[in-house]
C-alpha cells in the first residue's frame, strides 16, 4: 500500500494552505508567451540561487520583454545542474503579485499603511532617526541586516550604521545561523570559514555529518555524500532524528538534543585510549592538546552514553571508524550550533578532526554548512556587531585605525562594539533602543521566544523595514521600503565553502522599487553623510570592499567581478588578482594564528539552559523542511512550495499514543500551540520536532527559549523542555501579510496539478498503518 491511498494521508491537504497563497501562475500573472514551445528570443542569464549556502548555479529564463519567467539548470562546479525545489521555484518571486512596489507608511501601529512617495518615506525616516538620536543619543537607534543580502550590501549595512547612523547597534540575522561555528573556527584556526571545498567530500574515506539534515536543508549537497559512498566512504550521522541521510548511514547516532559535546568528548576519549590520535601532527602543529586530552579523560563512553541516550558501543564504533579511516571529514550545521554551548560543540568536533590528523588534506578536514545564502559572506565585512570589514575586530585599535582611514572618518567617531540580535530585542524592551531599521530579515518568525520579540518591537517608537514582500516583521513597521529581489541586481555571495560567486541581474526592478544600496545611500545623504556613500551600484561598493579587506585574513582584494564571471567562483583569501584563491586551508599544516598553530580548546559539556522537569519532560527541537526557507517570507508565497509543505506539524514517537494527524498541544515555559501529529519512529521517544518556518500561532519560535551561547550569542533553538498533550483542534496557519491594494488579486487555493491526494510532509509519519 502506498501513501497515495486517501485513507493513509495526513489531514495536510491543500485546503489547509493559508488562504491567498498563490504564485504568479495561480494569480493569472502568467507571461503571455509562457508554456509555448517556441521561445524565440528567450535569453538565459547565468546566476545563482538566492536561498541556501550551497549557492547552486542556475540560469534565469528571460522573455523578449525582459521579464524573468522560468529557470534552467546550469552546469556550474558547485551543483552540476542539480537544483532543489526551492531553487526551481525561486524565479517565481520576481514577478510575484505580492511584491511591494511603493513605499508604505503610517504614523502609528493602529493605522493602516498608505502608499507614499519615496521622498516622504525617506524624509519621515530621517526625521525619526534625528528625533530619537537627538533625545536619547546615537545608540538609541539600531540597524539589523540580513545574511541573504549580497556581500556588498552587508558591507554597506556595517558602514551605514557606524558612519551615517553613528550607532554601535548593528547586527544581522546570520547571528541566528552559523556564528557558533564561526566563533569556534576563529578560536581554533584564526580564520572563520570551512577548511575544505565540497569536492573534497568525494575524496574522503569517512564522512561525519553532525546536526545537519542535509537532505532537506542542503539537498544539492547530498550528491557529494552519495558520491563519496559510491567510492566506498563510510557515513556517520549524528542527529536526534532519522533523516533521509541518516537512514542510509553506516552509523546513525540518535543522540538526545543538547548533548553533542558530551558525545564528541567521549569519542575523543576512545581515540586517545586506543592510541588512535596523531601525536606527531599534534606535537608539530597544535597547542592545547595536553589540556584537551586531560579533559576528555573524564568522558568515558559509558558516562556519555548515558548523558546522550545512545549505546556505549556506538561511541566506540564512531571513534574507530573516524580515526581509523585514511582520510576523514566532519561537516556540521545548526544541529550542533544552535545551542547555549554551540561554540563548544563545534570545538569538540574540531578537536576530533585535529587530534586524528584529519586537517588540511584532500578528503580530510572540517566544514560548516551555511544555512543562509550569504551566511558566510554576510558577516565578513562588518555587518556583525563586533566586526569591521575584512573580519577585523572592532575592539582592536589597529583594526579601527585602518578602517577609519579607508572610510575617511576620525577614529573617535567610530562606535564601539554593539550587542547581538537577541540582545538588541531585550534592549528594545528596556527602551535602550527606541528606533530600528531592519533590512532583509523577519525576526517575528526567526527569533526565539516570540512573545519577547513582539514586546520588544512594539516598544519601538519608530521601526522601518526594507523588504520585497510584506513580512510579518514589516507588517509591524511604520515605514516599509520596497526593494529589489536578488534577480534585479548584481552582487556577490560567499557560499559554505567560502567560494565567492557572482549573482547577475536578469530583470529591471518594477517601477517604484529601488535597490537596498540606493536606499541606504539616500538615507545616508539625508543624514549628512552623503560624501561617504557615493555608490551608484554594487560594483562601486565591491571595489571599496576589496580595498577594505586587503591584507586581512578575509582578503578579497584579488577577486573582481570579471574574474568571478570567468571562473565561476573564487575562495578567499585571494590577495592578488593573479592569486587562484584558497579552496583548501592549512595544507602547510599551519593556521591563521600568529604562532601558526591550531589552538585546541578544552570543552566541558553542560546541560541545556531550559531544565527538564516532571511538567516538561521532553526535548523540543526545531529545524527546516525542504520546501521552505528560513522565516518563509519568500517561500510561503510560492504555490508549489506551499502545496508541498502547507503547514507545520509536530513529529512524535508512536510511544506517546497519538495517531497520525491528531491535534497535539505542545507546551513549553514560553507558551503552547496545537499542531497535527506526525507519528513516526524516526524520532527519539523523548524528543519532539517542529519545523520553524511559520508565524504564530503555528510558530516553533513561540515555544523556543531565548537562551544564548555566551560567546557566539546564538540562540538555543535546538533544545528546550516541553510536554505534549491531546487537544481538540489544530491551530490555523495564517496567510502571509500583504500590502494595501494587493487584495485586488483573486483569492485562489493552491491548485493541485496532481489528482492524487497529498501525502504527508516529506513522507514521514502514519505509524498507525504499521
Partner 1 sequence: MMGRTIFIDPGRCIGCQACVSACRECDSHRGKSMIHLDYPDEGHSVASLPTVCMHCEDPVAPCAEVCPADAILVTADGVVQQADTTRCIGCANCVNACPFGVPKIDLQAKLQMKCNLCYDRTAYGLAPMCATVCPTGALFYGTLEELQAERPGVQVADSFTFGTTTVSTGVAMVVPADRVQWPVPGGLPVVEINGRDVR
Residues interacting with partner 1, by CB under 8 A?
2-4, 8, 25, 34-37, 39, 70-71, 73, 81-85, 87-89, 214-216, 219-223, 226, 230, 242-245, 247-248, 626-627, 640, 644, 654, 660, 679-682, 753-756, 759-760, 762-770
Min dist CB 755 to partner 1, Å, is 5
SS3 label, residue 526: helix
Min dist CB 548 to partner 1, Å, is 36
Provide the b/e sequence for 365-386 (b: ≥16 CB within 10 Å): bbbbbbbbbbbbbbbbbbbbbb
C-alpha cell at 411: 577614529
Q: Which is nearer to partner 1, 57 or 558 (CB)?
A: 57
Q: Which is nearer to partner 1, 245 or 421 (CB)?
A: 245
Q: Where are the alpha helices (DSSP H) in 359-433?
A: 397-407, 421-429
Q: Which helix (H) or strand (E) holds 571?
A: strand 570-571
Min dist CB 230 to partner 1, Å, is 5
Q: Which is nearer to partner 1, 239 or 489 (CB)?
A: 239
Min dist CB 183 to partner 1, Å, is 30
Q: Is there a contact between 147 and 493 (Cβ–Cβ < 8 Å)?
A: no
Min dist CB 5 to partner 1, Å, is 9
Place of cell 524516526: 682
Q: Which residues pair with 491 in a beta bridge?
A: 503
Q: Which is nearer to partner 1, 401 or 659 (CB)?
A: 659
Q: Which among 454, 453, 484, 493 is positioned nearest to 466, based on CA atoms? A: 484
Q: Which is nearer to partner 1, 83 or 524 (CB)?
A: 83
Q: Which is nearer to partner 1, 14 or 589 (CB)?
A: 14
Min dist CB 229 to partner 1, Å, is 9
Q: Which is nearer to partner 1, 56 or 494 (CB)?
A: 56
Min dist CB 490 to partner 1, Å, is 24
**DSSP-derived secondary structure letter, 161:** I
Strand 57-62 and strand 68-73: the pairing is: antiparallel
Q: Which is nearer to partner 1, 316 or 683 (CB)?
A: 683
Min dist CB 148 to partner 1, Å, is 20
Q: Is there a contact between 166 and 529 (Cβ–Cβ < 8 Å)?
A: no
Min dist CB 769 to partner 1, Å, is 6
Place of cell 534585479: 488
Q: Which is nearer to partner 1, 169 or 241 (CB)?
A: 241
C-alpha cell at 117: 512617495
Query: CA-CA distance, 686 to 312, in Å (whole number)?
Result: 18
SS3 label, residue 287: strand
- Residues recorded for the chain: 770
Q: Which residues pair with 583 in a beta bridge?
A: none
Min dist CB 480 to partner 1, Å, is 30
Helices and strands per DSSP (H, E), number in the chain: 21, 28
Q: Is there a contact between 497 and 368 (Cβ–Cβ < 8 Å)?
A: no
Query: CA-CA distance, 232 to 600, in Å (whole number)?
Result: 31
What region does 614 belong to: left with phi over 0, alpha with psi -120 to 50, or beta? alpha
Query: CA-CA distance, 442 to 447, in Å (whole number)?
Result: 8
Q: Which is nearer to partner 1, 214 or 501 (CB)?
A: 214
Amino acid at each position: 500500500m502506498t501513501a497515495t491511498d486517501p485513507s493513509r494521508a495526513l489531514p495536510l491537504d491543500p485546503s489547509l494552505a493559508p488562504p491567498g497563497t498563490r504564485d504568479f501562475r495561480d494569480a493569472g500573472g502568467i507571461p503571455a508567451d509562457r508554456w509555448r514551445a517556441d521561445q524565440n528570443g528567450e535569453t538565459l542569464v547565468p546566476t545563482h540561487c538566492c536561498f541556501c549556502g550551497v549557492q547552486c548555479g542556475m540560469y534565469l529564463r528571460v522573455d523578449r520583454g525582459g521579464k524573468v519567467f522560468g529557470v534552467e539548470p546550469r552546469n556550474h562546479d558547485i551543483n552540476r545542474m542539480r537544483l532543489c525545489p526551492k531553487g526551481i521555484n525561486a524565479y517565481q518571486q520576481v514577478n510575484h503579485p505580492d511584491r511591494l512596489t511603493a513605499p508604505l507608511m503610517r504614523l502609528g501601529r493602529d493605522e493602516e499603511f498608505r502608499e507614499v512617495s519615496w521622498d516622504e518615506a525617506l524624509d519621515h525616516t530621517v526625521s525619526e532617526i534625528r528625533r530619537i538620536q537627538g533625545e536619547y543619543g546615537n545608540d538609541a537607534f539600531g540597524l539589523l541586516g540580513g545574511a541573504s543580502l549580497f556581500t556588498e550590501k552587508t558591507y554597506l549595512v556595517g558602514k551605514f550604521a557606524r558612519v551615517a547612523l553613528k550607532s554601535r547597534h548593528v547586527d544581522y540575522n546570520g547571528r541566528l545561523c552559523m556564528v557558533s561555528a564561526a566563533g569556534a573556527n576563529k578560536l581554533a584556526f584564526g580564520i572563520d570559514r570551512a577548511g575544505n571545498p565540497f569536492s573534497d567530500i568525494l575524496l574522503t574515506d569517512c564522512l561525519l555529518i553532525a546536526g545537519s539534515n542535509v537532505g532537506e536543508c542542503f539537498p544539492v549537497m547530498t550528491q557529494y555524500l552519495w558520491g563519496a559512498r559510491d567510492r566506498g566512504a563510510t557515513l556517520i550521522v549524528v542527529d536526534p532524528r532519522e533523516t533521509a541521510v541518516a537512514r542510509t548511514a553506516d552509523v546513525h547516532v540518535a543522540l538526545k538534543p543538547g548533548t553533542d559535546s558530551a558525545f564528541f568528548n567521549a569519542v575523543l576519549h576512545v581515540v586517545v585510549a586506543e592510541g588512535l590520535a596523531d601525536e606527531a601532527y599534534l606535537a608539530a602543529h597544535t597547542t592545547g592538546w595536553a589540556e584537551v586530552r586531560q579533559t576528555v579523560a573524564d568522558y568515558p563512553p559509558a558516562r556519555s552514553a548515558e548523558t546522550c541516550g545512545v549505546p556505549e558501543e556506538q561511541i566506540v564504533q564512531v571513534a574507530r571508524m573516524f580515526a581509523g579511516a585514511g582520510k576523514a571529514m566532519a561537516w556540521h550545521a545548526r544541529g550542533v550550533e544552535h545551542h547555549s554551548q554551540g561554540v563548544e560543540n563545534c570545538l569538540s568536533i574540531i578537536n576530533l578532526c585535529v587530534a586524528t590528523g584529519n586537517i588540511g588534506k584532500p578528503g580530510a578536514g572540517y566544514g560548516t554548512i551555511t544555512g543562509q545564502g550569504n551566511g558566510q559572506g554576510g558577516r565578513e565585512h562588518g555587518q556583525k556587531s563586533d566586526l569591521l570589514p575584512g573580519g577585523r575586530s572592532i575592539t582592536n585599535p589597529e583594526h579601527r585605525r585602518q578602517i577609519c582611514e579607508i572610510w575617511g572618518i576620525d577614529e573617535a567617531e567610530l562606535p564601539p562594539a554593539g550587542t547581538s540580535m537577541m540582545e538588541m530585542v531585550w534592549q528594545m524592551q528596556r527602551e535602550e533602543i527606541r528606533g530600528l531599521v531592519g533590512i532583509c530579515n523577519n525576526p517575528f518568525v526567526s527569533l526565539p521566544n516570540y512573545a519577547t520579540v513582539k514586546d520588544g518591537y512594539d516598544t519601538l517608537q519608530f521601526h522601518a523595514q526594507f523588504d520585497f514582500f510584506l513580512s510579518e516583521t514589516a507588517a509591524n513597521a511604520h515605514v516599509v521600503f520596497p526593494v529589489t529581489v536578488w534577480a534585479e541586481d548584481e552582487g556577490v555571495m560567499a557560499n559554505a565553502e567560502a567560494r565567492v560567486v557572482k549573482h547577475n541581474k536578469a530583470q529591471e526592478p518594477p517601477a517604484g522599487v529601488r535597490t537596498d544600496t540606493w536606499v541606504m545611500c539616500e538615507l545616508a545623504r539625508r543624514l549628512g553623510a552623503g560624501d561617504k556613500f557615493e555608490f551608484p551600484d554594487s560594483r562601486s561598493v565591491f571595489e571599496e570592499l576589496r580595498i577594505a579587506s586587503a591584507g586581512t585574513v578575509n582578503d578579497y582584494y584579488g577577486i573582481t567581478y570579471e574574474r568571478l564571471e570567468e571562473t565561476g567562483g573564487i575562495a578567499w583569501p585571494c590577495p592578488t588578482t593573479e592569486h587562484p584563491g584558497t579552496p583548501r586551508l592549512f595544507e602547510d599544516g599551519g593556521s591563521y594564528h600568529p604562532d601558526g598553530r591550531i589552538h585546541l580548546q578544552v570543552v566541558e559539556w553542560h546541560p541545556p539552559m531550559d531544565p527538564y522537569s516532571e511538567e516538561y519532560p521532553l526535548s523540543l527541537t526545531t529545524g527546516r523542511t525542504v520546501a521552505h526557507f528560513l522565516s518563509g517570507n519568500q517561500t510561503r508565497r510560492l504555490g508549489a512550495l506551499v502545496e508541498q509543505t502547507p503547514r507545520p506539524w509536530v513529529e512524535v514517537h508512536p510511544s506517546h499514543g497519538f495517531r497520525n494527524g491528531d491535534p497535539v498541544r505542545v507546551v513549553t515555559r514560553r507558551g503552547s500551540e496545537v499542531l497535527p501529529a506526525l507519528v513516526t519512529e524516526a524520532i527519539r521517544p523523548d524528543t519532539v520536532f517542529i519545523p520553524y518556518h511559520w508565524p504564530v500561532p503555528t510558530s516553533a519560535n513561540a515555544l523556543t527559549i531565548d537562551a544564548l551561547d555566551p560567546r557566539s550569542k546564538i540562540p538555543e533553538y535546538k533544545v528546550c523542555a516541553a510536554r505534549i498533550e491531546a487537544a481538540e483542534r489544530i491551530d490555523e496557519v495564517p496567510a502571509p501579510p500583504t500590502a494595501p491594494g494587493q487584495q485586488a488579486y483573486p483569492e485562489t487555493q493552491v491548485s493541485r496539478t496532481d489528482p492524487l491526494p497529498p501525502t504527508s510532509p516529506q513522507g514521514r509519519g502514519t505509524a498507525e498503518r504499521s
